Structure 1
Amino acid sequence: MLTLRARAGAGASILGLALALGAPAHAADTGPADAPAGAAGQVSARPTISGHVYDETGAALPGARIAVEGTPFEASTDAQGGFTVAVPEAGRPVTLAIDYLGRPHTTRTVDVADRDAPVDITLPAAGQPGDIVVTGASLLDNTARALNQQRQADNTVTILSADAIGRFPDPNIAEALQRVPGVGIERDQGEGRYINVRGAPSEWSAVSVDGVQIASVDPSTRAVDLDTLPSDIVANIAVTKTLVPSQDADSISGAIDISTRSPFDRRGFALTGMAGASYNQFGKTSDYRASGAISDRFGPDRQFGVLLSGSYSMTHRRPDNVENGWVRNAAGRYLVAETFFKDYDTKRERIAGTGALEWRPADGHRLYLRGSYAQFEDDEYRDRLGIVWSDGTVRAGATDTAATYDRTRINKQVRHRTQRNEIWSVVGGGENRLGEGKLSYDVSYTRSQQTYPNRNELLFRSTLRPTLSYDFANNADLPTYSLFATGEHLQVANYGFYENTFRSNTTKNDTFSAQIRGDVPAELGSGDATLSVGGRYRERTVDADEERFRNRDASAALGRTLAGVLSDQESRNFDYDLGERIDPAKADAYFAAARPDSPRRVSDSRIADYRVKEKVLGIFGMGKFEFGATTLIAGLRVESTDFRGDTATFNAATNVYGARTSKTGYLEFFPNLTLRQEFSPDLIGRFALTRGINRPNFVDLVPRTLVEDDGVLIVRQGNADLRPTLSNNVDAGLEYYIRPLGIIAVNAFYKDLTDYRYTVTRNGTFDGRIARLTQPINAPDGKLYGVELNWQQQFGFLPGMLGGFGVFANYTYTQGDARLAQADLTGRSVFRLPGQSKHMWNASLFYERGPVNLRVAYTKRSDYLDEINTGDRTLDLYWEGRGQLDATGSLQLTKEVNLFVEGKNLTNSAGVRYFGDRQRVYEYEKFGFTLFGGVRVKL
């Protein structure tokens, strides 16, 4: 970043802009705001003073306001506590006033003549009566770090600091983000995976690590699986809800920037560690977690820094799960087509690490090399008892909640699935002062990869065709099934081999990017102006390879019967007796023997493969204008996108394979106006007019045609003509920062949407046969709007021990919809946005006094749409709103050692999905509570 805060002629400004525009492309800021005025490394024609601000432990304090008393000059500290601030021309001592929420106001007198020597300032902890006592291990200290950065930011941003994350039972990034105003999470088996920011679909939020955007491991979406990333390898997380032109435009709802630790986060040597274990209610299993980080600075002036960190966790879960698939017949009656009782035994392992090398030879100069790696492996055995109602005949008298079927089918299946996600990135770059300016640049390479080495299934089917019934009237979650009274599923001798299936697939997403940025400042009347220009070039290649095998020949049983693969362990979901579990070792032995002889489904395997190449070039220019308490950012970002997708085709009639290619390209403009008004040091108003984009998912653009034929012909097709979703955004907010530490804030937003994408299913023909055709298309327009309320405060004004209490609470209201390109089969033309909960809130009561920290937290979101059914809106799939109660407690034994205990999902809240009406439950799942305890060490 080239940052100049000097008088500069028009010629110099134009030359600087032209040089940056002609350089390789670059983009987004790595901090919570777009280069706060006076941030470290900024220079001016005026004399300047540079330095760092630390706490009493040597930890950097970001977001501190540095003001030169008696002048209009001020600055803010960056992520490593660094600052550069202009001072008067006269060669006389100046007094720096340091304002930092949560700590006493501090002044420091500095001789301007010594301005080339960096100034290190240590802020004392508050210790007077009525003040908050802050220590290096204090949760309040980390709350202060977040609030100070938010206060000084130019745009609307929420910060989560590492230690504050650690005080909640949130083992991955998705779960940590659920505490942020306006953020809801989507869970898988009780663990957070995707996020919905401000009621928007999950793919509308780009995720970056150390300023480098990472790609999704899941080939079906651009949304990043945030359960792959553990929360204990980060320094802080910034959720930017209003972008500025220097940031990538592909975050309609909010950009997530994860910053890993830097060796310059502290003055010198630092060592942290954590280890613990849990008890899980369901299955009576245990989880294990451990992490550590070590860093140091060395050299004559401690200008070199090195850091290494690592994290390991293993979770062992056995959730209970029941699923019911619903249909509506020609008479309009709702009927259950199939029921599955799923008995899971899942182990999830996460391994992650980061490394950093950094050299800061002088103020305003640094070179760095950073890397991160995260691996998530889900090794899952699933026993499934199935009732296929639709293979039978429904008797007269069926209602929408109860029915009896003749000649149903019963099956029992075991599946062993191993999923491995890997995300790694490496970025090298630097910042250099050039005369009166500064240039920043970096080059990065990332890979996101998802592999399924095992997706093996063995299915047995009973020869019995019993008459069975169900009744949802009294309990839609756990209805009555006559099977568990008559027990046909327990007659093991009547099961015979039906089929085996094997699938494996690998998706690799490789991304190269290069970026550069320059800032050319100039005085503008009584204020200052900074002209910024830069760009990013990003090239992404996706390779998806899938293999499918299936064998239904009787010989494929290899002599195995159901009885031959059963164990002596009971299989039970809730109160349903499913019989005996299938022995994992016996199942794996069968899979190993059967897979080599299972025929490959060649056409399915080949047409599922694809290759994608996407190139995005973005350039921006903007001006930042500061007039006293008013900061105005105005600018334009332009992004050019080129896309190519290649896939195989297959003609079933001629048995001939071919190839198909789709190409598309577009140029989009993103104007931006951002206003920050400081009514007082603690009352900040913000307003922004921005524009954002969400590009289509790769699998939606690739011209694939996937065919499934199990009695009903289902054809899924890509759409090369899909357009990106665009959003024109209006945001306004007011924040009041409470002394000594707290905030009350309100933020409102409105998003005007164009070309929202959704999937339409219709009846038609394919290869001369009647089929259900599914394809993504664009909706003409839509909208999303809402308001966020946030309150955090520690009640230090209360007398005595009561002063340790505090509150953390936020509430978000959102509303949104999109208009269909054409009415669906039921006449609907408008639908809710998937992922949009009308109500989301968090409430936490905490107590922190001396060595004791206690916290009880509750998070809740209301129902939201999961999938649209364009054939029948009454069968839209919804997630029921879910609340979760968590609790944490810790005891600071010494300055270095902290003991802690966590309770997660203490109310054993269920995960529920339903079709259109809460009575038509599709999935009912419970995970149980988890009690976790351990020790933290910080040196």
Structure 2
Amino acid sequence: MVLKRNVLALALASAGLCFSLGVHATPADNNANPGSASVSSNAPAPDQQSIDTQSQTTTQTTTVPSDNTAPKKANEKAELAKSLDTITVTGYSKSAETAVDIQRYADTIQNVVTAADIGGLPDQSIADALTRLPGVTAERIGGQASQINCNGLSGNFIQTTLDGRVQPSTSGTNYIQFDEYPSELINQATVYKSQQANLIEGGVGCSIAMKTANPLDAKQEQTVNVDMRGSFNNQANDVYGTNTQGYRFSAAWQGKFLNDTLGVGLGFARMQQPHVSEQFVGEAFDGLQTINSSGQQAYPSQGVQVQQNGGSEQRNGYLATLVWRPNDNLQLGANGFFSQYNDGSFGRGFRGQLFDQGQAQITNPVLLPNGAVVGGTVTSNATPDNFGLETTADNYTTNSSVFSGGLNAKWNSGPWTVVADASMSRAVSSEINVDTTADPYNGLGTATPSLMSQSLTYGLNGLNVGTLTVPNPGIYTNLGDMALSRYGVYPYVYHDVDKGLRLETTYELSSNPVFSAIEGGVYINNHTYNADRSAYVYGSEWGDAKTTPLALNSSDAVTTCWSGNFGGFPCFLALNGPAILAANGVTNTTPLKSWANNWTYIQSGQVDVKSRDAYLMGDIDTNLFDHSVTGNIGVRVVRTSQYSSGLQEVDNNEGVPITDQTGVTSSDYMPVNQGKSYTDVLPSINLTFHFDDANQLRFSAAQVMAPPPISSLLAGHGAWEANGQYNLWSNTSPLLDPMYANQFDLSFEHYFDQSSGAFTAHVYTKHIESFVEQIQYNDFNFAGAGITVPIDPTTGKPYLNGEYQTSYNDTQGGTVHGMDVYYTKTHFLPGVWSGLGVSAGVSLDQSAVKTESTLSGPPQNQGLPGLSKKSATAALFYDNGTFSAQLSGNYRSSFVSDSQMSVNNQIVYFAPETVFDLQTAYNFTKHVSILLQFLNLTNQPTRTYFGNTQQTGTIQYFGMTTYLGFKINL
């Protein structure tokens, strides 16, 4: 029998490896343990106990989280019980040891964050907790972790679920903004680094599965948890209109009724905090041009900005769970999660613009060896006279919400387990995006005011705050000189809806020499995305003939100065744009779609993506050379249909009559609906070779896919005609293909006795067949691509093919490869120090993928967005049941992203950063504790640059936040 198993296992491994190289493969998400991607956190686990999200500070025996899959293999259960029953642990140690056991007995390569880690001393959001895992990094937006990067890839390559349900996005594209998810409401998060057939496709970088608690798995009949803490930001005093104080409050209740057959859970979490950022911005560099009257050639910057970014943020999270388990064979559940995030963000300060294109004179320029101008004196040109130093009041206030909920049923009898899950998830995001500018004028109050000639001297200072001075700073705070030139509202509104139905079944095999179970299922998903643009504009910039400057007064324009690192900048007027307009009789500022701003129609539209999935997977449990081999082999088949509706500009009345929201009718546009359908076959294999109880080697191979960014699928196109040619712009295309990859993972894992820690070393390679990029085609064959070409009235024939600005799948693709090493250990010291634990991880990632950028002036190659060549995480924690503390730090080297803070998002480099947090708690009793936290302990800024570190992008300081509060567990 042993020989037979060895031969069969070797054949299976060889066949699976060859199979995984053949077609296109799948990633996505599941719950905490691999087995059934569709089962929500409410699925039963009669042989295990889940973690109570809020009870980490009391002493208790470590238990295993609920397993949402078919029953575990007998030998795994025995080993797990043996490892967990011998010690008693609390807090951080409990979290670390539970995560170790989940990882140890999984069929995939994964890392886990459990409730004690998240809820014991809550992070700002689930994003902060995830960054303590190896290979997982975050981009800080507004000072806190938001977009997650994984295995060297950006958030657009990550699939995310909550309780097995695909999560919609508030970002306007594919990546999830994880700061929407309060850590207090999440029981567990799993990062799947290898893929298997029952995971929903999408996770080329990784798949992240968040999970909420099942109240029937709570240890007590009734539990109540209350957490309240006040906060203080030490930089908020430097930012106009920002309160230094805030608070966080959470409350959770779980109850079991009807002889523990009915479980109810309710949770609420609120965060109120200041929005704080002081920023110095160097804008992108332009092409080679003459910069002054001396005929000097160089690459000038487009401008500089300095802003106080302030306001307040409020996030409210709600969770409700109902579970009924009338017998051991049936469980029915319903749950819903809702998070509402209101970020009131205002940017006030100066913007010096139009240093380039002959619109200003740059004297005494400071040049880098590449010819980029990083300093000098900028003065107004006689003609054109567009350069100026504007006082700005930008409103970035964003209101967003995420809902995810559904119904779940699980039935098991004998070898059969059947799961059904129906879900609906919805995200809505609305950013007001107001741009207000005021300028100094001559002749205010007369019939012919004119913009003053201005001058400034600036200097970029690499990764530090630069300089900006003016010869006459008094005019910028003088109400007699300054007036509002322009008030523009350009909202970004997104709706993202996912509706899913999942049916799965598992059949346990009792005596098969290779397979322990066969799984199969279908998944039906409808994804609808809407982008809605509009605009309202009063006046114009730079003092042209259309500008009617509006007077300011001391109540709507308040003199504001700088301090700290920004103390050398001139004072400015903090403008209240709506109040200024109202004081001057302008009250109707509703943004609308209009043909005058036809981009409001072109960039609006709807995308519908329908996917129909089926998978078949065999769970492996066999022997090879007298050693246990476990894992799975399977295939997922995905049928996708993607179509987008929008408007194409055809001009010359070649379209259909459409009346805009201002009442103007145009026949220059026609509705279009474009798209495609395709089928992918995605095989995968996961094998774990168990050397002994403590050591194992994992191998995984899969073909995976990530959908194109959904915002890039919009069908709208704007047009212009020149030289008898028809030209289109949009930078989007509904004909994009997914981003496919072949990936291979190998991991060695050593587990210490009594689940007290682990050492893992993971290497991977991903060959990505194509990336979605923007391109400009010349003489593009529009008719061949199914795009209507209008008639040229001068010839009576269709226009000639011209320029096409669109998105496409590049044909080169590229490889991403890397490794991560992770170590965690508890109980390595005796006596009172037994509560001490450590964790540390290092990740190295490489890719030869490059894209050309001209944002730094001379063309240069930029790396792959989201990839840091080096990243590290470390934590030192202590918990003795009465006192607990954790000092954690996260480092990542430079990386490329499109989160540059400027007039538009720009793909730039982020400088290396290290962020430290300190969290402590003291338990007066097992029911009452106090806590103290310090987040961003060293006030680490985010810093970006344009390829050369001397070419400053954005330098932002957010301050350190201190929390002090209490916690009650009943």
Q: Same fold (TM over 0.5)?
A: yes
1:886 counterpart (896, 914, 917): 917
1:369 counterpart (325, 329, 334): 334
- Tell me the residue number matched to 2:284: 326
- Tell me the residue number matched to 2:403: 424
Q: Which amino acid is 1:669 matched to?
A: V
- Tell me the residue number matched to 1:805: 836
Asked if 1:838 is matched to 2:869, the reply is yes
Q: In the aligned structure 1, how far is the partner of 2:898 from the partner of 2:134? A: 25
2:265 counterpart (304, 307, 315): 307
Q: Identify if the C-alpha distance between structure 1 residues 859 and 380 changes in structure 2 by more than 3 Å, giving closer, same or farther.
A: same
1:467 counterpart (455, 464, 469): 455
- Tell me the residue number matched to 2:819: 787
CA contact (8 A) 2:491 2:534 kept: yes
CA drift at 1:412: 1.2
SS at match of 2:685: strand
| TM-score (norm: length of structure 1) | 0.83
- Tell me the residue number matched to 1:317: 275
Q: Which aligned pairs between 1:222-233 and structure 2 lie closer than 5 A?
A: 222-233=174-185
Q: In the aligned structure 2, how far is the partner of 1:606 from the partner of 1:660? A: 12
Q: In the aligned structure 2, how far is the partner of 1:558 from the partner of 1:823? A: 36
CA contact (8 A) 1:50 1:83 kept: no
Q: Which amino acid is 1:861 matched to?
A: R
Q: In the aligned structure 2, how far is the partner of 1:748 from the partner of 1:101? A: 30
CA contact (8 A) 1:688 1:730 kept: yes
Q: Which aligned pairs between 1:453-532 and structure 2 lie closer than 5 A?
A: 454-462=432-440, 463-472=451-460, 477-483=464-470, 489-524=476-511, 526=513, 528-532=515-519
Asked if 1:750 is matched to 2:765, the reply is yes
User: What do the CA deviations read for 1:475-516 (whole angstroms, capped 9, x no partner)?
Assistant: 652223232775553454333332221233432222211111
SS at match of 2:551: coil
CA contact (8 A) 2:391 2:572 kept: no
Q: Identify if the C-alpha distance between structure 1 residues 635 and 382 changes in structure 2 by more than 3 Å, giving closer, same or farther.
A: same
CA drift at 1:861: 0.3
Q: Identify if the C-alpha distance between structure 1 residues 84 and 534 changes in structure 2 by more than 3 Å, giving closer, same or farther.
A: closer
Q: Identify if the C-alpha distance between structure 1 residues 707 and 420 changes in structure 2 by more than 3 Å, giving closer, same or farther.
A: farther
SS at match of 1:594: coil
Q: Which amino acid is 1:246 matched to?
A: N
- Tell me the residue number matched to 1:627: 622
Q: Choose 413-422 or 354-363, whichever is displaced more.
A: 413-422
* Identity rate, percent: 18
2:952 counterpart (905, 918, 921): 921
CA drift at 1:35: 5.5
Q: Identify if the C-alpha distance between structure 1 residues 426 and 257 changes in structure 2 by more than 3 Å, giving closer, same or farther.
A: same
Q: Identify if the C-alpha distance between structure 1 residues 489 and 763 changes in structure 2 by more than 3 Å, giving closer, same or farther.
A: farther
Q: Which aligned pairs between 1:196-207 and structure 2 lie closer than 5 A?
A: 196-207=149-160
Q: Which amino acid is 1:409 matched to?
A: G
SS at match of 1:155: coil
SS at match of 2:401: strand
2:747 counterpart (733, 755, 759): 733
1:279 counterpart (228, 232, 248): 232
SS at match of 2:761: strand
SS at match of 1:812: strand
Unaligned runs of at least 5 residues, structure 2: 1-26, 238-243, 290-296, 369-373, 381-386, 441-450, 654-665, 722-726, 781-788, 790-798, 901-905
1:574 counterpart (566, 569, 580): 566
CA drift at 1:598: 7.8
User: What do the CA deviations read for 1:891-925 (whole angstroms, capped 9, x no partner)?
Assistant: 11111122111101111111111001000001111
1:255 counterpart (196, 199, 207): 207
Q: Which aligned pairs between 1:54-69 and structure 2 lie closer than 5 A?
A: none
CA contact (8 A) 2:285 2:856 kept: no
Q: Identify if the C-alpha distance between structure 1 residues 807 and 596 changes in structure 2 by more than 3 Å, giving closer, same or farther.
A: closer
SS at match of 1:818: coil
Q: Identify if the C-alpha distance between structure 1 residues 593 and 27 changes in structure 2 by more than 3 Å, giving closer, same or farther.
A: same
CA drift at 1:581: 2.3
Q: In the aligned structure 1, how far is the partner of 2:77 from the partner of 2:456? A: 81
CA contact (8 A) 1:483 1:489 kept: no
- Tell me the residue number matched to 1:413: 392
Q: Identify if the C-alpha distance between structure 1 residues 771 and 318 changes in structure 2 by more than 3 Å, giving closer, same or farther.
A: farther
Q: Which aligned pairs between 1:65-144 and structure 2 lie closer than 5 A?
A: 79=66, 99-100=80-81, 103-105=84-86, 125-126=87-88, 134-135=89-90, 138-144=91-97
Q: In the aligned structure 1, how far is the partner of 2:253 from the partner of 2:889? A: 34
- Tell me the residue number matched to 2:35: 34
| TM-score (norm: length of structure 2) | 0.80
Q: Choose 346-355 or 777-786, whichever is displaced more.
A: 777-786
- Tell me the residue number matched to 2:100: 147
SS at match of 2:834: helix
More RCO (CA 8 Å, sep 6+): 2
- Tell me the residue number matched to 1:433: 412
Q: Choose 441-450 or 491-500, whichever is displaced more.
A: 491-500
2:347 counterpart (371, 382, 385): 382
CA contact (8 A) 2:484 2:550 kept: no
1:931 counterpart (955, 962, 966): 962
- Tell me the residue number matched to 2:938: 907
CA drift at 1:858: 1.2
SS at match of 1:489: helix
Asked if 1:399 is matched to 2:377, the reply is no
Q: In the aligned structure 2, how far is the partner of 1:173 from the partner of 1:844? A: 17
SS at match of 1:224: coil
CA contact (8 A) 2:818 2:843 kept: yes
Q: Identify if the C-alpha distance between structure 1 residues 394 and 366 changes in structure 2 by more than 3 Å, giving closer, same or farther.
A: same
Q: Which amino acid is 2:428 matched to?
A: Q
Q: Identify if the C-alpha distance between structure 1 residues 761 and 476 changes in structure 2 by more than 3 Å, giving closer, same or farther.
A: farther
Q: Identify if the C-alpha distance between structure 1 residues 760 and 403 changes in structure 2 by more than 3 Å, giving closer, same or farther.
A: farther
Q: Choose 610-619 or 697-706, whichever is displaced more.
A: 697-706
CA drift at 1:402: 2.6
CA drift at 1:333: 2.7
Q: Which aligned pairs between 1:13-24 and structure 2 lie closer than 5 A?
A: none
- Tell me the residue number matched to 1:447: 426
SS at match of 1:252: coil
- Tell me the residue number matched to 2:11: none
Q: Which amino acid is 1:290 matched to?
A: F
Q: Which amino acid is 2:747 matched to?
A: G
Q: Which amino acid is 1:503 matched to?
A: Y
CA drift at 1:568: 4.8
CA drift at 1:776: 4.6
- Tell me the residue number matched to 1:290: 249
Q: Which amino acid is 1:378 matched to?
A: D
- Tell me the residue number matched to 1:11: none
The number of aligned residues is: 849
Q: Identify if the C-alpha distance between structure 1 residues 666 and 818 changes in structure 2 by more than 3 Å, giving closer, same or farther.
A: farther
Q: In the aligned structure 2, how far is the partner of 1:825 from the partner of 1:776? A: 24
CA contact (8 A) 2:505 2:521 kept: yes
User: What do the CA deviations read for 1:827-871 (whole angstroms, capped 9, x no partner)?
Assistant: 9897521110000101122222241112211111000012599xx
Q: Identify if the C-alpha distance between structure 1 residues 801 and 224 changes in structure 2 by more than 3 Å, giving closer, same or farther.
A: same
Q: Identify if the C-alpha distance between structure 1 residues 592 and 734 changes in structure 2 by more than 3 Å, giving closer, same or farther.
A: farther
- Tell me the residue number matched to 1:216: 169
CA contact (8 A) 2:500 2:523 kept: yes
Asked if 1:660 is matched to 2:672, the reply is yes
CA contact (8 A) 1:162 1:234 kept: yes
CA drift at 1:50: 5.9
2:528 counterpart (519, 523, 541): 541
Q: Which aligned pairs between 1:863-882 and structure 2 lie closer than 5 A?
A: 863-867=894-898, 877-882=908-913
CA drift at 1:472: 3.2
Q: In the aligned structure 2, how far is the partner of 1:42 from the partner of 1:398? A: 65
Asked if 1:721 is matched to 2:735, the reply is yes
1:614 counterpart (591, 601, 609): 609
